Amino acid sequence: MSTIVREERTGWDIALGAFLVLAGFVVLGHTIIATAVSVLFVGWTTLLMGVVAVVVTLFRIGKDGFWTGIIGGGLLAAIGFAMVRNPGVAALTLTLVAGSLFFSTGIVRLVAAFGTGEGRVALLLSGGVSTLLGLSVLFNLFSSTFAFLGVLLGVQAIVEGISVMVAGRRRIVPAGRHDASRATA
């Protein structure tokens, strides 16, 4: 049976998008709390995934990949434990990583802009913004630690909500299915 992939929006997409935009503004209003919650969420998730990886790997004793699974799961659990135990240092580390990624991505885009003819303006603009954002975070690391991740989370929620409201979500529909609600055209 073949399938058709359709991108369309429904009333639920509008409601979900509006909820995400509203949630994004709430997060932007409480960036310090959002940063703390997100760091703790990532820490607990990493810790639990590490423990699950170790437990699953224990069923593979004597088989290929045993040591890789034990070491990888143990490292994940240790990183998660460290993040949960000291969320301030985890927030600082994640902010440093995010700032470094913005900076390096910006530099790569600026270099790529001079190597290509098409899309040069877009690459220069996005590269310049990313580089400046990365430098801003890296030069103000300690003052931006407890707000930067919350700002990123809030902006992402707003952008995601707007995209869901404008474009809808992707649906996979069986080819033979007749959708009566869409037949009015």
More confident residue, 164 or 167: 164
In this structure, the chain runs to a length of 185
The band of 178, judged by pLDDT with boundaries at 50, 70 and 90, is low
From CA 4, how far away is CA 9, in angstroms rounded? 16
Res 185: pLDDT: 44
Res 122: pLDDT: 84
Mean of all residue pLDDT scores within the chain: 87
Res 69: pLDDT: 92
Res 5: pLDDT: 62
**CA 173 and chain centroid, separation:** 28
The band of 146, judged by pLDDT with boundaries at 50, 70 and 90, is confident
